[in-house]
Structure 1
Amino acid sequence: MKKHYDVIIVGGGVIGSSIAFHLSKRNYRVLVVEKGALAQKASRAAAGMLGAQNEIGEDSPLLSFARKSRAMFPALAEELQFLSNINIELIQSGIIKVAQSEEEVAHLRAIAAFQEKIGEKVEWLTTKQVKEKEPELSEAVQGGLYMPNDGQVSAPLLSKALAQSAAALGTDFLEYTEVQELIQDNNRISGVRTGTDSFFASNVIVAGGAWSKDIINKTGISLETYPVKGECFSVQTHERMITSSIFSSGGYIVPKSGGRLIIGATEKPHTFDESVQLDGLYQLMAQALNIIPALKNAKWEKAWAGIRPQTGDGLPYLGEHPHVKGLFVATGHYRNGILLAPVTGLLMADMIDGKAVHHPFSINRTPYIKEVNR
């Protein structure tokens, strides 16, 4: 295996694979080092919603970033299909954010007004209109915000397609290999050291999701990130119950092919425990049955959990280390890693190219970064 590359990426999830894909398209020699298997952890666990309008508040700097990323998916799906022969199952049938109280009705109507103002397609549906569009929804739904441009993909297939497409373009992947140390020379990155070998590059990107902090802490700074466990489960139905993804204050229900539904997700911060607990499943089941009573007849499939990387201010860290030249970070996407993967890959590739990139996600922002003793 080669020892010298242009860029080494630490982490082979959807973010790391997207960065590798975009860099390989620009003819960089890239190595991705993943401590487990590719396209696992949070990348495998996600339901795959592309909720640029649904997930991100009107006051968030992420909104324009997310809208740009969502717009990349149709062309990306075709490109990945060509390179990897994988269909990422892009479905643009919209998301309905339902209201279950008068307060939620007022809140969602205000969101609708804002989104119309910025030019997004959005429609407020009355209780009757919601039932006409999705007949299986219960009377507990008092209306809904329909966002036709928000959609979904298969998260595992997207992650796999990005990795395989990057490989087809020349990226090398090293699985089941943990980076033990970042190699530096006079505050300049020069490579990484694993348990058995060393690899060298003038640029290293840490994209290890919730595990990125462990590596970055060894470089003299500490990013304000923490893990959040999200539990989900899936069921099978004989007939397709819903066509749009349904999002509520208590979770989501996402229709997949073959009558499969993914229901999630809990939010349990400050744990790397990937076990699934009954209290979380009970809450998800109760909320799902309240919205779609016919789910009581669905057949159980499986349950799982993923560990998502959250930050102190809810924004990802994307940029170069303040003290180590050539060391970059791309982490903290929390619940939007699938949605933001395309634009993150593009942005990080632009940074490696040396282009002037302006965004509010610098890792040098305060107070969410602090010096630590090495």
Structure 2
Amino acid sequence: MGHHAEVIIVGGGVIGGSVAYHLAKRGRRVKLLERERVGAGASGAAAGMLGAQSEMHEAGPLYELARRSRAMFPQLDAELRELTGIDIGLVQRGLLKIARTPDEAEEIRRMIDFQVRSGEAAQWLGAGEACELEPELAGSIEGAMWIPGDGHVSAPELTAAYAHAAVTLGAELYESSVVHELRIEGGRVTGVVTDEGVIGCEQLVVAGGVSGNRLCAQAGLRLDMYPVKGECFSVITRRPLVSRTIFANGCYAVPKRGGRLVIGATVAPRDYGLTVSAGGLRRLLDSACSLLPAIADAQWEKSWAGHRPQTPDGLPYMGESASCRGLFVAAGHYRNGILLSAAAGELMAEQMCGEPVSFEAWNAFAPDRRCDAQTASAGALASIGGVHGDA
């Protein structure tokens, strides 16, 4: 494996892979260490939505970061395909956020007003108009918010593409590599202890989701990331039921290639298990069939669960620790790891390379910030949604 690197990244999910890719583009010597295999955690379980607007009610750093990152995906798609040959499955056909009740319709109309004022495209559609766009939708809905800018990717392919692109540019990838502890000298991180021995470094990035709590604590950095378990299932249909992502209170449906439809997701905070419950699937199936009745006739494919890494204030941890020099964190992206990965990797690389960070509110994500539910920042997402990112 070698005994030294400029940068060690712990965690081969979508965020760790993106940081590795953006650092490798800048010529940094990177070792990417993954305890299982690339994308084995939440990144591989994600539905892959690029939902920068679907849950945003207020302005704030997360909303701005989400919009910036979503805009990067067309160029990122081309770059990754050229470097790796991997098709990340980018689809930009928009999203329909469904209102089932008059109260939900009123709330969605307020979201539309805010987002239009912020310069984004969003439009209210009545039930008939929504069903014209997606004829399989149940006609009993109140209406929908049409978001033409949102889309989705294949999360496993995106995660793999980041890692392989980094390797193509000179990074080293080690799977089945467990980091047991940090080496810290004089208030600076100097390396890690693995099964293969000690590896020295100048900079270390903890991008391993909830498991990063333990490593950061060794450096005196107390994070409070916790898992939010989400269950999903997928079905196969003879013909595509929808061409756009359908998002509603209680479930979403994301169309994939080959007539595959991904349905998610339940929400179970601080549930460390990965079993799929019959009750959770029943709730999802009932909710999905009430929106798209034809799902009842679809062929069952599979079900799975993943852990989204959440923080008390709903914002990810990104940047250098104030308590330990050279220690960086890129974790806690909850359901938004896939969406935020593009911008997160770029901004982390800027800071780590000593460049001015090109995001005005970067300090809002500082790992050492006071972080609790009472200080939740505007723009933190609501509790319904899918398994995203390090999730």
Please give the TM-score of this superposition, normalised by the length of structure 2.
Answer: 0.92
Give the Å deviation of 1:367: 4.2
Partner of 1:372: none
Give the Å deviation of 1:354: 1.5
Partner of 2:178: 178
> In structure 2, do the counterparts of structure 1 residues 283 and 60 end up closer, same or farther at CA, with 3 Å as the change threshold?
farther
Distance in 2 separating the partners of 1:215 and 1:300: 40
- 1:361 aligned to 365, 368, 374, which one? 365
Q: In the TM superposition, what whole-angstrom CA distance separates every residue of 1:178-223 from its partner, at most 9, and x where no partner exists?
A: 1111111101111111123111111000000121112112222321
Partner of 2:82: 82
Partner of 1:6: 6
Give the Å deviation of 1:177: 1.3
Q: Secondary structure at the match of 2:281?
A: helix
Residue correspondence of structure 1 range 225-240 to structure 2 within 5 A: 225-240=225-240
CA contact (8 A) 1:88 1:158 kept: yes
Q: Secondary structure at the match of 2:112?
A: helix
Distance in 1 separating the partners of 2:106 and 2:206: 42
Residue correspondence of structure 1 range 200-219 to structure 2 within 5 A: 200-219=200-219
Give the Å deviation of 1:361: 0.6
Give the Å deviation of 1:5: 1.1
Partner of 1:194: 194
Residue correspondence of structure 1 range 37-48 to structure 2 within 5 A: 37-48=37-48
Distance in 1 separating the partners of 2:371 and 2:92: 38
> In structure 2, do the counterparts of structure 1 residues 244 and 367 end up closer, same or farther at CA, with 3 Å as the change threshold?
closer
Give the Å deviation of 1:123: 1.3
Partner of 2:249: 249
Q: Secondary structure at the match of 1:2?
A: coil
Distance in 2 separating the partners of 1:145 and 1:368: 31
Please give the TM-score of this superposition, normalised by the length of structure 1.
Answer: 0.97
Distance in 2 separating the partners of 1:255 and 1:60: 30
Give the Å deviation of 1:364: 1.7
Q: Secondary structure at the match of 2:344?
A: helix
Give the Å deviation of 1:32: 0.7
Whether 1:105 aligns to 2:105 is yes
Whether 1:323 aligns to 2:318 is no
Give the Å deviation of 1:24: 0.2
Distance in 2 separating the partners of 1:272 and 1:167: 32
Partner of 1:221: 221
Distance in 1 separating the partners of 2:46 and 2:140: 26
Partner of 2:64: 64
Q: In the TM superposition, what whole-angstrom CA distance separates every residue of 1:111-146 from its partner, at most 9, and x where no partner exists?
A: 111111111111110011011111110023110001
CA contact (8 A) 2:221 2:368 kept: no
Q: In the TM superposition, what whole-angstrom CA distance separates every residue of 1:38-78 from its partner, at most 9, and x where no partner exists?
A: 12210000000000011333244200100000000000000
Give the Å deviation of 1:100: 0.4
Partner of 2:338: 338
Q: Secondary structure at the match of 2:183?
A: strand
Q: Secondary structure at the match of 2:365?
A: coil
Structure 2's unaligned 5+ residue stretches are: 374-391
Q: Which amino acid aligns with 2:189?
A: I
Partner of 1:286: 286
Distance in 2 separating the partners of 1:221 and 1:300: 45
Q: Secondary structure at the match of 1:222?
A: coil
Distance in 1 separating the partners of 2:346 and 2:100: 38
CA contact (8 A) 1:11 1:35 kept: yes
Q: Secondary structure at the match of 1:335?
A: helix
CA contact (8 A) 1:12 1:38 kept: yes
Distance in 1 separating the partners of 2:56 and 2:336: 9
CA contact (8 A) 1:18 1:341 kept: yes
Aligned residues: 369
CA contact (8 A) 1:38 1:175 kept: yes
Give the Å deviation of 1:272: 2.0
CA contact (8 A) 1:38 1:160 kept: yes
Distance in 2 separating the partners of 1:257 and 1:186: 53
Distance in 2 separating the partners of 1:196 and 1:17: 21
Give the Å deviation of 1:368: 4.3
| Stretches of 4+ aligned residues off by more than 3 angstroms | none
Give the Å deviation of 1:30: 0.1
Structure 1's unaligned 5+ residue stretches are: 370-374
Q: Secondary structure at the match of 1:227?
A: strand
Q: In the TM superposition, what whole-angstrom CA distance separates every residue of 1:305-351 from its partner, at most 9, and x where no partner exists?
A: 11110000000000111211000001110000000001000011011
Q: Which amino acid aligns with 1:62?
A: L
Partner of 1:159: 159
Distance in 2 separating the partners of 1:175 and 1:272: 23
CA contact (8 A) 2:128 2:139 kept: no
Partner of 2:128: 128
Distance in 1 separating the partners of 2:239 and 2:310: 36
Distance in 2 separating the partners of 1:220 and 1:248: 41
CA contact (8 A) 1:223 1:368 kept: no
Distance in 2 separating the partners of 1:368 and 1:216: 18
Q: Secondary structure at the match of 2:81?
A: helix
CA contact (8 A) 2:22 2:345 kept: yes
Distance in 2 separating the partners of 1:57 and 1:232: 25
Partner of 2:349: 349
